[in-house]
């Protein structure tokens, strides 16, 4: 069974590569390359897969999940300028994709065991744009 | 990594198969067979999948996807009568199933010109006709053809 919990955080970011020219950055990242940064109300949907515990009837304690998400995502990310305040975005471009991977990296160790795993992270930048990450590819 | 972008278009259609009698058409398509047609505000979700480029940190260029979808889907479909203005539906009933297939085919037809090999691939078309009717088409699932 899958269970999903949603959290929100508001943060600013800028997508630029220092090695590229202004023109190249604009070509690749468009408005996201504005050096002054801009912000979004990000929404993360974190999905766990597991078998309900026969005693509690729960896949995972949602209170604990809320605590983990607050500690690992909301507290460090909310009302921050990601590039300046949240490693590794001082050296990794905080694209939507890379933020989703960082959320995955911060969460995956919290749900160990054969009966429970982190299944996916869906990250919305707006209602009309989101990414889904399930831990694939080299990290 | 998968990336999903939402788009909207408003279009009218009529579900009617010329080879069938009026009665059969009414029986099969119900209200959707109304001779004057009717319309919907379609919500389209286009999902692409691929590896995140290690340099840019992105799976696909969203502006490029927007331009492709605008050219192939939103431009021709928005505020159009699908039966009369989209050639594929001259002889094919524009059910939302067929519309999803047409959108897939339009995007796949010129995908390589917009997204070179090794980059993002089209993964899924999701089309919401109304809040109650939602259709999903996985591009590489042959069962869906």
**CA–CA gap between residue B66 and residue B62 (Å, rounded):** 6
- Please tell me which of the candidates B2, B51, B63 has its beta carbon nearest to residue A30: B63
Query: Is A12 a domain residue?
Result: yes
- Hunting for tokens 């085919």 — which residue is that? B105
pLDDT of residue A115: 85
Residues (pLDDT < 50) of chain B are none
pLDDT of residue B2: 97
* Chain A to chain B Cβ contacts (< 8 Å): 53
Torsion angle defined by CA atoms of residues A106, A112, A117 and A121, in that order, rounded to the nearest 10 degrees = 0
Shortest distance, CA B1 to any CA of chain A (angstroms): 5
Number of domains in chain A: 1
Query: Is A139 a domain residue?
Result: no
CB contact under 8 A, B57 and A28: no
Shortest distance, CA A131 to any CA of chain B (angstroms): 4
**Cβ density class B75-85: b for 16+ within 10 Å, e for less:** ebbeebebbee
Query: Is A83 a domain residue?
Result: yes
Residues B2-144, CATH architecture:
2-Layer Sandwich (3.30)
- Hunting for tokens 């590819």 — which residue is that? A137
Query: Is A120 a domain residue?
Result: yes
Give the CATH number, domain containing residue A92.
Answer: 3.30.479.10
Helix, strand or coil, per DSSP, at residue A94? coil
User: Which residue range forms the structural domain that includes residue A34?
Assistant: 2-133
- From chain A, pick out residues whose CB is under 8 angstroms from the CB of B63: 30
Residues of B marked active site are found at: 32, 79, 129
- From chain A, pick out residues whose CB is under 8 angstroms from the CB of B58: 28, 95, 97
**CA–CA gap between residue B79 and residue B6 (Å, rounded):** 17
pLDDT of residue B140: 83
Query: Is A86 a domain residue?
Result: yes
Consecutive 10-residue runs of chain A (139 residues): their mean pLDDT?
Answer: 97 96 95 94 97 91 96 98 97 97 96 88 97 81
Query: Is A8 a domain residue?
Result: yes
CB contact under 8 A, A129 and B4: yes
ipTM of this model? 0.87
**CA–CA gap between residue B82 and residue B84 (Å, rounded):** 6
Query: Is A27 a domain residue?
Result: yes
Sign of CA dihedral A1, A10, B65, A32: negative
**Cβ density class B108-143: b for 16+ within 10 Å, e for less:** eeebeebbeeebbebbbbbbbbeeeeebebebeeee
pLDDT of residue B141: 72
DSSP chain B: -EEEEEEEEEEEE----TTS-HHHHHHHHGGGG-TT-EEEEEEEEEEEE-PPPTTT--SS-HHHHHHHHIIIIIHHHTTEEHHHH-GGGSSS---HHHHHHHHHHHHHHTHHHHS-TTS-EEEEEEEEEETTEEEEEETT-GGG-
pTM of full prediction above 0.95:
no
Query: Is A138 a domain residue?
Result: no
């Amino acid at each position: 069974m899958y269970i999903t919990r949603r959290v929100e955080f508001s943060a600013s970011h800028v997508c630029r590569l220092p090695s590229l020219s202004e023109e190249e950055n604009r070509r690749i990242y468009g408005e996201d390359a504005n050096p002054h940064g801009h912000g979004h109300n990000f929404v993360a949907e974190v999905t766990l897969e597991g078998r309900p515990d026969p005693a509690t009837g729960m896949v995972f304690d949602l209170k604990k999940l809320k605590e983990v998400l607050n500690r690992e995502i909301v507290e460090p990310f909310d009302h921050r300028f990601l590039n300046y305040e949240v490693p590794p975005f001082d050296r990794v471009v905080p694209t939507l994709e890379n933020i989703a991977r960082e959320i995955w990296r911060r969460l995956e160790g919290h749900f160990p065991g054969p009966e429970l795993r982190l299944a996916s992270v869906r990250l919305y930048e707006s209602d009309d744009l989101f990414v889904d990450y399930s831990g694939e590819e080299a990290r | 990594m998968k990336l999903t972008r939402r788009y909207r278009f408003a279009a009218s259609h009529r579900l009617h198969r010329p080879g069938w009698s009026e009665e059969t058409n009414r029986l099969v398509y119900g209200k959707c067979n109304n001779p004057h047609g009717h319309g919907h505000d379609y919500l389209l979700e286009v999902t692409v999948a691929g590896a995140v480029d290690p340099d840019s940190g992105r799976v696909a260029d969203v502006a490029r996807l927007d331009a492709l979808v605008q050219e192939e889907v939103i431009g021709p479909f928005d505020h159009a009568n699908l039966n009369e203005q989209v050639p594929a539906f001259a002889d094919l009933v524009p059910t939302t199933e067929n519309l999803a297939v047409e959108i897939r085919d339009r995007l796949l037809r010129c995908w390589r010109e917009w997204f070179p090999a090794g980059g993002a691939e089209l993964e899924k078309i999701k089309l919401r006709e109304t809040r109650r009717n939602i259709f999903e088409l996985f591009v590489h699932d042959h069962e869906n053809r």
